[in-house]
Chain A
Amino acid sequence: MFQIDCPWCGPRDQQEFSYAGEGGIQRPQDPSATTDAEWADYLFMRRNPRGMHHEQWRHVHGCGQFFQVTRHTVTYRIESIRRMGESAAAGGESS
């Protein structure tokens, strides 16, 4: 049972959140221009690393916001939490 530090509300119990898939997956700008292989890669292929994983979570029973989490899949240590659009390095807004 994790404790997740919602970037909007502060630390809360995992049961207030729902996992929302791998983070950082960009929808192709023009889907019709993608090949079948490119589209299938976007659609189906997900990382399953032993180590750092970039994820999205939603504070579904709280503020309702989606945000980014970097979590170690072996130790379950949460390395960083950022609002959507915030870059990992700067921690500030990125375009």
Chain B
Amino acid sequence: MSQTHRLSQGGGIDRARELTFTFNGRRYQGHPGDTLASALLANGVSVIGRSFKYHRPRGIVGAGPEEPNAIFQVGTGATTRPDQRATQVELFDGLVASTSARLGFDPLSVNNMFARMLPAGFYYKTFKWPATYWPRYEEKIRAVAGIGESPIEPDADRYDHMNAHCDVLVVGGGPAGLAAAQRAASAGARVILVDENPAFGGSLLSGRDAPDNHVDGRSNRDWIANTVAELAAMPDVRLLTRTTAFGNYDHNFIGLMEDRGDYLGQPAAHGVRHRLWRVRARQVVLATGALERPLVFGNNDRPGVMTASAVSIYINRYGVTPGYRAVVFTNNDSAYGTALDLHAAGIDVAAVVDVRRRPSGALAAAVRAAKIPIHDGCTLIKARGGRRVRSVEIGRLSGEQLTGDRWKISCDLVASSGGWSPVVHLHCHIGSKPVWDDQAACFLPGADNPGQTSAGSVTGHFNLRDCLAQGFERGDAAAAAAGFEPTAGTAPSAPAAGETMPIRPFWLAPSGAPISRGPKQFVDFQNDTSAADIALAVREGYESVEHVKRYTALGFGTDQGKLGNINGMAILAATLGKSIAETGTTTFRPAYTPISFGALAGRNAGHLFDPERKTAMHEWHAAHGALFENVGQWKRPWYYPKDGESMQESLDRECQTTRTAAGVLDASTLGKIEVHGADADRFLDLIYTGARRNMKTGTCRYGLMLHEDGMIFDDGVTAKLGDNHYFLTTTTGGAAGVMNWLEAWHQTEWPDMDVFFTSITDQWATIAVNGPKSREVLQALCNDIDFDRDAFAFMTFREGTVAGVAARVFRISFTGELAFEINVDANHGRYVWEAVMAAGAPYGITVYGTETMHILRAEKGFIVAGQDTDGSMTPMDMGMQWAVGKKKTDFIGMRSLARPDIVASGRKQFVGLLPTDGTVVLPEGAQLVDDPQAPLPMPMVGHVSSSYHSVTLGHSFALALVKDGQSRMGETVYSPQPDGSVIAATIAGPVFYDREGARQNV
């Protein structure tokens, strides 16, 4: 039998079935009900990894979320998961796990021999300079320190989110939580009870089946089964196991992560691997329990040194003994229970070492009766042994010091208990500070958060009877606070606790040598932080617990210091000569245990990450070879390459055809808003820089919108559809923001105005026909609009039919060519689009995408808000004074245009740039300087905002923002490039083509 440490009886495992698993390439057997940790211990595996900094051999220390060492990679390929606590990984057949660090002799363990050269802050000090070397150091450090690997293949599993509401959420299904849930549910409250373990029962599951564990006269397991069955039968109770409440957020919002797949190996067919629950609860009962602290002594990281409660859990829950000759080391009563558990399992308990003199109390009496030797008033000085503890050195204490009297006991297991730390994490997530309690020697939850209370050992009550009574009472109180009448009943009863002896706080075992000379006394196993590191941090001037944490890395690991933080803070306090209450704790933040990215993302991944918006003509574009670009959520055709064309060849063709014949753009994505109401004129006058009040029905005006600071944030065309009725366009990406802007001003500043806004972007399809032949194309499709140059003037619109479909046709131009924009019901968009293409065929009409649109508009110096402006440009900066109403007395942003900073010289101004070498296209975003030979840091005078090659001009050109650029025409600026080259360009006006604007007025 390879399960050398499996007890012949006991535990909640299914001995009839055997599971095979692989750890670091070796096959082992376990049973259903095992965790990966219990199965490894059953197989006698003591070294499970190497430590982070010194590469010391490490073993399993705990049995739950506090485990710092047994952090494994589980699974392979796309579903491999790093950072899994073996103590919480349920065993399944075929499980594959590994540690990332090598076992056996490890060349890096030489670090250990030079340990004194690797004190706290070593990496900070050594690898700090020169700064440019840091990436190289970091790479080396990361390579040896790796704690896991992320999967590199796409995640094939599903994850989802569930929103839930309840009257009472109970976190923790131990005795207190079960009692609370039972009470709240019996009062009629909707209850959710969650527990991170596969089964409810909490501490009851880790105790022996002994009369002192009985509840209501039943065995602990019977009582659990009965209570859970009762709860499950109630219609408004939801029971969630394998579900961790990882975060407590404001207004009683709790985040839960439910495992629905990891424990099986694979999620069920069509199931999810993890589910994120977003729970809003009227009342919350935190019954989160307590975690045991180890004692800190020399070489306390040797495999075989564990917490006492973990030893009890392995024996009682899994039928596994982590060793065959144990020494129990304690400063309180609870570890005596572990001595009795070991004894009952037939394991030799060599000694109980208690730092207290003459331990009294019922448990100590029972240990004495079992003839287990008690070494009172003594401490462990250090453990001996390499890959496994072989013996311990014990010394007699006088106060906090050693008397000099020392002896050795051989053992292969040390079970230590330094007392219990309530799991106050959730209580503290929303800002509450825990309160140090000298009596219980632990931090307790402070004042209750609104709508929340705590019950059970998290409140410092460590005996079963008190926990049950408190759970019962807090369950009633939570139901009452949620508006339910508690029913009659009495709390579940447990035997009275026997006589107890108080804990003696004992934070650091003396070694008889200065702290930096003795054997290492580890506080944080995962980060290799020792007591000496904390002392060093204090010597170097660190006093705040938050700073010491960052300097020593105490509590920085994936375990977040669940095991070691309180010990570390107490050692810090003692070193500083302060009390623990004065030193305080570091901040508790979500997540309590790590949660998966998959759970956070849920279904918001892949194509569901963000909605894709497509125009009515999208499928036509796709069928005609369009390449698309994302503009906000929209998919817009970018350009349409024809057989074998390069991108530039496509653009040249699209540009040339549009300038010489006709081109069509799908402009449906432009934001469209209708504005109605008696005060629409007055309101739009305040929104736009230009006047709207004197517009005539049937006309259009270009307009700029400014923020109140005077900076351009959007632009578009306003059309007056009738009295008190306007139609405005916005940029494609700015539509939602403009809508919000209009609503904000109306609702919060001018609520008395009679004005309404309706988004109609999706309801209309827009087909922009540009080019000298655009009139002919429209005339071929429309017989009820007069397209005569004077009858249908520039910047007006007409209503009629195009291809038989009711349409509004605007004579506006974003290319500088004669142009018409056809707006039709989006449902007819593709039909009209195809009609336009057919009508244009005799003229050689082309379709063009956003890239050609940009070239054509930039040749004309037309800006794109958000590309040529970046939230720091005024209309004057952009040379657009013409768009500002001279006679207006007010509009949003107007007053700011007179601010001293805005009228001062030295502002960046909008200009054109002509590269000296017309074959070179300046990169957009490139910085501009006056003297490329200037010493660093080189003064920058501007940047390129738009830049293209123009087939029409026969050379490249750019738009840019240059300090005082409008008065620097003809001067040369330079753009140093990352490859060391420098591009020279001459400053010019921003209009490169048809400066007089003749082409759109034909």
Q: Taking beta carbons and an 8 Å cutoff, which residues of A are in contact with B?
A: 1-3, 13, 20, 27-28, 30-32, 34, 36, 39-40, 43, 56, 58, 60, 64-66, 74-78, 84-85
Closest to A27 in B: B749
A36 and B250 in contact, given A43-B708, A56-B748 (Cβ under 8 angstroms): no
Partner-binding segment picked from B328-336, B401-409, B623-631, B893-901: B893-901
B249 and A1 form a contact (CB under 8 A): yes
A84 and B251 form a contact (CB under 8 A): no
With a cutoff of 8 Å between Cβ atoms, the chain A residues found around residue B899 in the complex are 36, 39-40
With a cutoff of 8 Å between Cβ atoms, the chain B residues found around residue A2 in the complex are 250-251, 253
Enumerate 8 A-B pairs (CB-CB under 8 Å) in ascending A order: A3-B280, A13-B253, A27-B708, A27-B749, A28-B895, A36-B900, A64-B743, A78-B251
Expressed in whole angstroms, the Cα–Cα distance for A84 and B746 within the complex equals 11
With a cutoff of 8 Å between Cβ atoms, the chain B residues found around residue A58 in the complex are 740, 743-744
Q: Count of chain B residues with Cβ under 8 Å from any Cβ of A? A: 27
Other-chain residue from A28, A60, A84 in contact with B740 (beta carbon distance below 8 A): A60
B890 and A20 form a contact (CB under 8 A): no
A66 and B250 in contact, given A13-B280, A39-B896 (Cβ under 8 angstroms): no
With a cutoff of 8 Å between Cβ atoms, the chain A residues found around residue B633 in the complex are none
Q: Could you tell me the distance in whole angstroms from the C-beta of B486 to the nearest C-beta in chain A?
A: 25
Closest to B251 in A: A3
Expressed in whole angstroms, the Cα–Cα distance for A84 and B744 within the complex equals 11
With a cutoff of 8 Å between Cβ atoms, the chain A residues found around residue B278 in the complex are 1
With a cutoff of 8 Å between Cβ atoms, the chain A residues found around residue B430 in the complex are 76
A31 and B431 in contact, given A1-B251, A3-B253 (Cβ under 8 angstroms): no
B747 and A65 form a contact (CB under 8 A): yes
A84 and B280 in contact, given A40-B899, A66-B743 (Cβ under 8 angstroms): no
Closest to B450 in A: A77
- The 10 A-B pairs with the shortest beta carbon distances in the complex, nearest first, are A31-B895, A1-B253, A66-B747, A3-B251, A76-B250, A1-B249, A2-B251, A66-B748, A39-B895, A27-B749
With a cutoff of 8 Å between Cβ atoms, the chain A residues found around residue B708 in the complex are 27, 43
Q: Which of B434-471 contact A (CB under 8 A)?
A: 450
A34 and B895 form a contact (CB under 8 A): yes
With a cutoff of 8 Å between Cβ atoms, the chain A residues found around residue B981 in the complex are none
B250 and A1 form a contact (CB under 8 A): yes
B890 and A31 form a contact (CB under 8 A): yes
Expressed in whole angstroms, the Cα–Cα distance for A36 and B902 within the complex equals 12
Interface residue? B905 (CB, 8 A): no
Q: Which of B722-753 contact A (CB under 8 A)?
A: 740, 743-744, 747-749, 751
With a cutoff of 8 Å between Cβ atoms, the chain A residues found around residue B900 in the complex are 36
With a cutoff of 8 Å between Cβ atoms, the chain B residues found around residue A27 in the complex are 708, 749
Chain B 225-265, CB within 8 Å of chain A: the 1/0 string? 00000000000000000000000011111000000000000
A32 and B890 in contact, given A66-B743, A66-B744 (Cβ under 8 angstroms): yes
With a cutoff of 8 Å between Cβ atoms, the chain A residues found around residue B747 in the complex are 65-66, 84
Give the most central of B450, B744, B890, B895: most A CB within 10 Å: B895
Other-chain residue from A77, A78, A84 in contact with B751 (beta carbon distance below 8 A): A84
With a cutoff of 8 Å between Cβ atoms, the chain A residues found around residue B964 in the complex are none
Closest to A38 in B: B895
A43 and B251 in contact, given A58-B744, A84-B747 (Cβ under 8 angstroms): no
With a cutoff of 8 Å between Cβ atoms, the chain B residues found around residue A75 in the complex are 431, 450
B894 and A31 form a contact (CB under 8 A): yes
With a cutoff of 8 Å between Cβ atoms, the chain B residues found around residue A34 in the complex are 895
With a cutoff of 8 Å between Cβ atoms, the chain B residues found around residue A32 in the complex are 889-890, 894-895
With a cutoff of 8 Å between Cβ atoms, the chain A residues found around residue B249 in the complex are 1
A85 and B894 form a contact (CB under 8 A): no
Q: Could you tell me the distance in whole angstroms from the C-beta of A72 to the nearest C-beta in chain B?
A: 11
Expressed in whole angstroms, the Cα–Cα distance for A13 and B744 within the complex equals 21
A43 and B896 form a contact (CB under 8 A): yes
Q: Could you tell me the distance in whole angstroms from the C-beta of B738 to the nearest C-beta in chain A?
A: 14
Expressed in whole angstroms, the Cα–Cα distance for A60 and B250 within the complex equals 20
With a cutoff of 8 Å between Cβ atoms, the chain B residues found around residue A56 in the complex are 748
Q: Which of B742-782 contact A (CB under 8 A)?
A: 743-744, 747-749, 751
Interface residue? B93 (CB, 8 A): no
A76 and B709 form a contact (CB under 8 A): no
A84 and B748 in contact, given A1-B249, A58-B740 (Cβ under 8 angstroms): yes
A43 and B253 form a contact (CB under 8 A): no
With a cutoff of 8 Å between Cβ atoms, the chain A residues found around residue B280 in the complex are 3, 13
Closest to A30 in B: B890
Expressed in whole angstroms, the Cα–Cα distance for A43 and B312 within the complex equals 66
With a cutoff of 8 Å between Cβ atoms, the chain A residues found around residue B749 in the complex are 27
Expressed in whole angstroms, the Cα–Cα distance for A58 and B252 within the complex equals 22
Expressed in whole angstroms, the Cα–Cα distance for A34 and B708 within the complex equals 14
Closest to B709 in A: A43
Q: Which of B122-162 contact A (CB under 8 A)?
A: none
20 new A-B contacts, CB < 8 A, other than A36-B899, A40-B899, are A1-B250, A1-B253, A1-B278, A2-B251, A2-B253, A13-B253, A13-B280, A20-B748, A27-B749, A31-B895, A32-B890, A32-B894, A39-B899, A64-B743, A66-B743, A66-B744, A66-B747, A75-B450, A76-B430, A84-B748
With a cutoff of 8 Å between Cβ atoms, the chain B residues found around residue A28 in the complex are 895
Expressed in whole angstroms, the Cα–Cα distance for A1 and B161 within the complex equals 15
Closest to B749 in A: A27
With a cutoff of 8 Å between Cβ atoms, the chain A residues found around residue B743 in the complex are 58, 64, 66
Expressed in whole angstroms, the Cα–Cα distance for A78 and B450 within the complex equals 12
Q: Could you tell me the distance in whole angstroms from the C-beta of A82 to the nearest C-beta in chain B?
A: 12
Expressed in whole angstroms, the Cα–Cα distance for A66 and B744 within the complex equals 7
Expressed in whole angstroms, the Cα–Cα distance for A64 and B895 within the complex equals 29
Closest to B746 in A: A66
Expressed in whole angstroms, the Cα–Cα distance for A34 and B430 within the complex equals 43
Expressed in whole angstroms, the Cα–Cα distance for A40 and B709 within the complex equals 9
Expressed in whole angstroms, the Cα–Cα distance for A43 and B250 within the complex equals 31
Q: Could you tell me the distance in whole angstroms from the C-beta of B935 to the nearest C-beta in chain A?
A: 35
Other-chain residue from A36, A64, A76 in contact with B251 (beta carbon distance below 8 A): A76
Closest to B757 in A: A64
Closest to B449 in A: A75
Chain B 648-669, CB within 8 Å of chain A: the 1/0 string? 0000000000000000000000
Expressed in whole angstroms, the Cα–Cα distance for A40 and B163 within the complex equals 44
Q: Which of B259-313 contact A (CB under 8 A)?
A: 278, 280
Expressed in whole angstroms, the Cα–Cα distance for A32 and B895 within the complex equals 6
Expressed in whole angstroms, the Cα–Cα distance for A77 and B708 within the complex equals 31
Closest to A11 in B: B280
Expressed in whole angstroms, the Cα–Cα distance for A64 and B757 within the complex equals 12
Q: Could you tell me the distance in whole angstroms from the C-beta of A56 to the nearest C-beta in chain B?
A: 6
A20 and B744 in contact, given A1-B250, A36-B900 (Cβ under 8 angstroms): yes
Expressed in whole angstroms, the Cα–Cα distance for A31 and B896 within the complex equals 9
Give the most central of A74, A75, A77: most B CB within 10 Å: A75
Expressed in whole angstroms, the Cα–Cα distance for A31 and B250 within the complex equals 40
Expressed in whole angstroms, the Cα–Cα distance for A70 and B163 within the complex equals 27
Chain B 702-713, CB within 8 Å of chain A: the 1/0 string? 000000110000
With a cutoff of 8 Å between Cβ atoms, the chain A residues found around residue B890 in the complex are 30-32
With a cutoff of 8 Å between Cβ atoms, the chain A residues found around residue B450 in the complex are 75, 77
Closest to A67 in B: B747
Expressed in whole angstroms, the Cα–Cα distance for A20 and B278 within the complex equals 25
Q: Could you tell me the distance in whole angstroms from the C-beta of A8 to the nearest C-beta in chain B?
A: 12
Chain B 66-98, CB within 8 Å of chain A: the 1/0 string? 000000000000000000000000000000000
Q: Could you tell me the distance in whole angstroms from the C-beta of B591 to the nearest C-beta in chain A?
A: 14
Q: Could you tell me the distance in whole angstroms from the C-beta of B658 to the nearest C-beta in chain A?
A: 39
Closest to A29 in B: B890
Expressed in whole angstroms, the Cα–Cα distance for A66 and B450 within the complex equals 27
Expressed in whole angstroms, the Cα–Cα distance for A30 and B431 within the complex equals 44
With a cutoff of 8 Å between Cβ atoms, the chain B residues found around residue A74 in the complex are 431
Expressed in whole angstroms, the Cα–Cα distance for A2 and B251 within the complex equals 5
Q: Could you tell me the distance in whole angstroms from the C-beta of B43 to the nearest C-beta in chain A?
A: 44
Q: Could you tell me the distance in whole angstroms from the C-beta of B83 to the nearest C-beta in chain A?
A: 25
Q: Could you tell me the distance in whole angstroms from the C-beta of A2 to the nearest C-beta in chain B?
A: 5
Expressed in whole angstroms, the Cα–Cα distance for A77 and B252 within the complex equals 11
With a cutoff of 8 Å between Cβ atoms, the chain B residues found around residue A20 in the complex are 744, 748
With a cutoff of 8 Å between Cβ atoms, the chain A residues found around residue B740 in the complex are 58, 60
With a cutoff of 8 Å between Cβ atoms, the chain A residues found around residue B252 in the complex are 3
Q: Could you tell me the distance in whole angstroms from the C-beta of A34 to the nearest C-beta in chain B?
A: 7
